[in-house]
Structure 1
């Protein structure tokens, strides 16, 4: 008798090579899951789809879950029981990139800087990086461009002068002549770039099984057991030539920026994420900082089984 599979819809900004490796290794099939990946155009759209049930889980920035759990004036103007289930990666090359022909940060004065939305985690990281390069917030214009692949397209087409890129998009940018001005982990460390998130206890057993499959795929990648598979999937999903796909493989294995093999959400990294939001977009309700205690277990943001000091 054929075992019945359960469909799980995952929303992601950029194609997930980790997910594709898990599928190639049969890790989802072993757990009775049929995993469908759905591209999302922006963080508000991703969270809207998650809350509406169009997505079962999301591969997203941890800052998005902070915003949509605690901050009333987030882009959706509502909060919900969104939760972080597992850590996925530490940024995968996340950094600020200047358009082809731009070589120094000083050229960004008066320039257009592309972000997903101005009040998002990657935007906060971008502000911190530009500040480290000597630029204040009033030195440049912020333009809303949506997801990372969209920002890459805008950067190369002249729609912005600089933006934050990662997850293979930065490799394509470099190959097209864009300049890496600074890396986020040079300024903000430790850091979490991507987490697996869901709403409440929705499909808890299936979400847990999916998280477990991603951890197993990450272990296989880290151990070097599936290098050829990773390169093939990166080349196809991210449209990378073989040389760049091999660089992406190295990125996945990088201890500072790569995969979080055990899936554990470490609190120091989350403190970095929350600290950036508190610095660049303080959230006050009746004069009280709603994020001051965001990482306390009683606030419910992080599954207690995923955290460690």
Structure 2
């Protein structure tokens, strides 16, 4: 039997990655000659840098993350950021969840909201929602916390008033008394969220 091709994958802790783990568990990748090594990222900035540096061959970032990296000033001034998107994973399996003290959108005015990164990681979706509800930039503050599990924990510890979450963190937060303020498809019906990404140089090889 030919040796398996080893691929390193970096992703967020989230329910939408279940198919990857099921395929590993049931030997689907191995059947087609692949051995997948999975690691988890603390946030989108780390994931993009890990892909760029070659620590991982494939990543599951938000489409926003890759676009921001490719269009960044660093890339324009000669830093090698040759990432590309090659598939979509989902189109918005995320929801805006608020702590128990904040039952509606209006109650978030003047509050601290948790995000992965101020530049990427669905922050554009969150700010679009706030703008559509009459919020200006001065009406809230953003704090960078990192990936889903870190924002979920910050929400339960009441360090932030609200954040975007995905499964299984949404159901867990609601069971603790948090409020569902909006789902991703209500904020923006057509939206490419998490994707598969890689370096062009690696893909060519």
In 1: Cα distance, 2:117 partner to 2:163 partner: 12
**Does residue 189 of structure 2 align to residue 199 of structure 1?**
no
Could you tell me which residue of structure 1 aligns to residue 4 of structure 2? 5
> How much does 1:102 deviate?
1.8
Corresponding residue for residue 67 of structure 1: 68
Alignment match, 1:302: none
Unpaired stretches in structure 2, ≥5 consecutive residues: none
Contact preservation (8 Å) 2:114, 2:142: yes
Q: What's the CA shift string for 1:96-119, capped at 9, x where partnerless?
A: 110123201111111000001111
CA distance in 1, matches of 2:96, 2:133: 11
Task: Write out per-residue CA displacement over residues 129-176 of structure 1, whole angstroms, 9 at most, x where no aligned residue.
Answer: 122233222101111101111101101111111111113222221122
Give CA-to-partner distance per residue, 1:65-94, whole Å, 9 cap, x none. 1011122168xx9451100011111122x1
Equivalent residue number for residue 85 of structure 1: 86
The structural deviation recorded for 1:203 is 4.7
Matching residue of 1:112: 112
Dislocated runs of 4+, deviation >4 Å: none
CA distance in 2, matches of 1:119, 1:78: 18
Return closer, same or farther for 1:78/1:4 CA change in 2, 3 Å cut-off. Answer: same
| Mean CA deviation greater in 26-35 or 128-137 | 128-137
1:185 maps to what in 2? 185
Stretches of structure 1 lacking an aligned partner (at least 5 in a row): 206-309
Distance 1:10 1:127 in 2: 30
Distance 1:179 1:67 in 2: 31
Report how far residue 7 of structure 1 moved: 1.6
Contact kept in structure 1, 2:64 and 2:120, CA below 8 Å: yes
Aligned pairs (5 A) from 1:144-163: 144-163=144-163
Structure with the larger RCO, 1 or 2 (CA within 8 Å, 6+ apart)? 2
1:125 aligns with 2:125: yes
Counterpart contact for 2:63–2:194, Cα < 8 Å: yes
2: distance between equivalents of 1:83 and 1:147?
Answer: 21
CA 1:171–1:147 in 2, change beyond 3 Å: closer, same or farther?
A: same
SS at match of 2:197: strand
Q: Distance in 2 between matches of 1:140 and 1:66?
A: 25
Residues 174/146 of structure 1: CA separation in 2 closer, same or farther (3 Å cut): same
Q: Verify the 8 A CA contact 2:115 2:121 in the aligned structure 1.
A: no
Look up the match of 1:46.
Answer: 47
Distance of 1:78 and 1:96 partners within structure 2: 35
Rounded to whole Å, the distance in 2 between the matches of 1:177 and 1:151 is 16
Asked if the contact 1:65/1:83 (under 8 Å) is kept, the reply is yes
TM-score w.r.t. the length of structure 2 is 0.91
Partner of 1:35: 36
CA RMSD of aligned residues (A): 1.9
Partner Cα distance (2:27, 2:194) in 1: 23
**Aligned position for 1:165:** 165
Structure with more of its chain in helix, by fraction:
1
SS at match of 1:54: coil
Post-superposition offset of 1:26: 2.1
